[in-house]
A and B are shown apart, each in its own frame.
Chain A
Amino acid sequence: MQKNKFNLVRIFFFCLVLSLVVLGAWFFHSIFTLIIISLLFAYLLNPLVSWMERKHLPRALSIIIVYVVILLLIALAGVSFIPRFVGQMQELAVGIRKFIIQNSDIEVVRADSLELFIAGYQLPEDEIIKPPCKFVPIFEVEKFVMEMEGQALIAADSLQNFIHHNTRIKLRETENISDFIIRSDLDKFIKENASSKAILTGVSDSVSTLSSPFMGRLESQFAVIEKKIPFVDFASIIDDVADYLVRSTTRIPELVLNFLGSFLMIISFAVTIPIIGFFLLLDHDKIKNYIIRLVPNRYFELFINLLEKIDQIIGTYLRAMMIEILAVSALTSTVLGLIGVKYGLIIGVLAGLANAIPYFGPWFALLAAFTSVLLTGKPLIMLLYVFIGMQIVQFIDNSFNYPIVIGRNTEMHPLVIMLTVIAGGFVFGLLGMLLSVPILFLVRGIVSELYQNLKEFDII
């Protein structure tokens, strides 16, 4: 039997180990997310790799084959799917702005001049739809964001011009300061991003030729309004708006840099996760054995049992969920495309993701489709077609997929799901709304399994 030795050396040794553990945790905390994502990555691919191994391929080779297949799929998506998706996104962004301006309270702007105005901002369409090589789409996205921000910058600039020309509004002091801020920042930004300079100047050229008649018209309309309603203080309103615009425009370089930073991070993640995943996949039984070795005898069988059950719960759920998202996205996109709804691809992907939320997700997607139909001014009978089409998709999903995903768990009350979605939205935003219900399902499944096993093994 082991004796309990409580001498100083012993205590010192354990303190040392504890501090090393704390130090290690601190050292690795920044890549904690990376490790979790890599684990998830390896976990999702493991069945595929094991399946290939069962066909008498060496495990390392199986992993490489799976990687190559995934890369090919991504490349295929990059060539065919993503450009179309981005194109629709851009169309949507322009459409929304058009809608907002068309329906705003100021009746100054005639639709025709506005369309001309927007046309100046739009990118040539062939540039987006047909990329020259498969790696272009990523840069296409980047360029798209840059364009959008460039447009906002130019819009703010032209408004500044408008204020500048309007002598009746006395803004000299603020104008000078804001002009100074915007110039210096813009110059710095352009110097730093030489590549984006061309885009910015190109857009600004096209806009400056278009904006002057528009601005003139706006100016005269303001004058008319002020004559009609003398007590409205336009000067201060414009002042506020300009102030807000200046404040937001000065942040654009920072936003772009942030975006570039996160872009680099995504690239580094995309490289490191497969590498970590490779080793996790290669040695997964050694890693598992090592962890099991550390479990005390009393909890050994419990641990083995739990590993098996939890693996079953999470694995079934995640795989079924992935299939469901893909299936519903594809089905919805196809149905909406057949009906002729605009932005069908985006709404389809949205519907697939939203489908993770039981009861409410499908209605959310339906709402998005309806909005698209109404916004684009399609015939109203299309609403009925969309409704029927989405119901058919739901029927297919409910009869084939849903029983696998949720079948094992008992149903949850709609109120619980609604509250979870709302809480998820408050804490983690849109992503939280999508992920909170699946996480709730998994946590519930795991905890109930844990409880049952602890009970059976006489631990609680």
Chain B
Amino acid sequence: MGLFNKLFDKETDHANLTKEEYYFLRNISFLKKLHRLELKLFSKLLNKRVFQPGEYIFKQGYPVAVLYMIKEGKIEIVLEKKDNVVILTSLDKYCFFGEPALFVETQRTASARAAVKSTLYAVSKKDFQEFIATHPKIGGKILFELGKRLSQMVIDTNQRFWDAQSELEELHSARSAEPSDGEEDAKKQV
């Protein structure tokens, strides 16, 4: 009877920005530069969703449409390969995920599911783009922070790539039997 809960419960109603919500939004990394009024404007885009333990938020291969921020609970990002499920990472309060949804039209590269009962705030791509067009100044702040985060991710990934490659080279020199072929393969795989 989820429909009835949603119809008559005050829990999912967020017409006004409560103090609790305000502190939550302040703690999201890409919103931290926004002041109270700007956060209030941004909060109009939010869709509150409550997920039960084990419930999937989205699955690998679905089209990307929405970015999620975690208000409460724990979300696991999992990679499903035929039979076995690999948990890539788990995200806690104030983390956000699915940000490619805001920039590109592609498919989800991994699945997300709730480990415990979780409350998430979702922002759709279209609302986000309209918000930036309507409030370019706030949009600039948000995009700058998101850009920072994405750049940091690229730097981290690069670092890990070089670390992995040097590790591989060490392994090769240790073996020294067939050096060139193995290196090429490793590069391709990464």
**Chain A partners chain B:** yes
Residues of A within 8 A of B (CB): 2, 17, 50, 53-54, 285-286, 289, 292-294, 296-297, 300-301, 304-305, 308, 453, 456-458
By secondary structure, the B interface counts as mixed
By beta carbon, the residue of chain A nearest B114 is: A297
> Would A301 and B126 be within 8 Å (CB), given that A54-B134, A294-B3, A456-B63 are in contact?
no
Instruction: Flag whether B65 is at the interface (Cβ < 8 A).
Output: yes
26 contacts between A and B (CB under 8 A): A2-B1, A50-B130, A54-B133, A286-B15, A293-B12, A293-B47, A293-B48, A294-B6, A297-B55, A297-B57, A300-B47, A300-B49, A300-B66, A300-B122, A301-B58, A301-B65, A304-B65, A304-B66, A304-B124, A304-B126, A305-B63, A456-B62, A456-B63, A457-B63, A458-B61, A458-B62
What's the Cα separation between A293 and B2 when bound, in Å? 10
- Closest Cβ–Cβ distance, residue B46 to chain A (whole Å): 8
By CB atoms of chain B within 10 A, which of A296, A297, A300 has the most?
A297
What's the Cα separation between A21 and B64 when bound, in Å? 35
By CB atoms of chain B within 10 A, which of A293, A294, A308, A457 has the most?
A293
Interface size class of B (residues with CB under 8 A): 20 to 34
Contacts of A50 in B (CB 8 A): 130, 134
A289 touches B47 (CB 8 A): yes
What's the Cα separation between A389 and B73 when bound, in Å? 69
Instruction: Flag whether B30 is at the interface (Cβ < 8 A).
Output: no
> Would A453 and B6 be within 8 Å (CB), given that A285-B44, A293-B12 are in contact?
no
- Closest Cβ–Cβ distance, residue B79 to chain A (whole Å): 17
Contacts of B15 in A (CB 8 A): 286
Q: Known contacts A285-B44, A289-B44, A304-B122; can you find 5 more A-B pairs with CB under 8 A?
A: A289-B47, A293-B47, A301-B62, A304-B124, A456-B62
The answer, among B55, B61, B65, for a CB contact under 8 Å with A305, is B65
Instruction: Flag whether B97 is at the interface (Cβ < 8 A).
Output: no
What's the Cα separation between A456 and B57 when bound, in Å? 15
Contacts of A457 in B (CB 8 A): 62-63
Instruction: Flag whether B59 is at the interface (Cβ < 8 A).
Output: yes
Interface readout for B50-61 with A: 1 if CB under 8 Å, 0 if not?
010001011101
Instruction: Flag whether B88 is at the interface (Cβ < 8 A).
Output: no
Instruction: Flag whether B125 is at the interface (Cβ < 8 A).
Output: yes
By CB atoms of chain B within 10 A, which of A297, A301, A304, A457 has the most?
A301
> Would A53 and B63 be within 8 Å (CB), given that A293-B6, A294-B3, A300-B122 are in contact?
no
Contacts of A285 in B (CB 8 A): 44
Contacts of A305 in B (CB 8 A): 63, 65
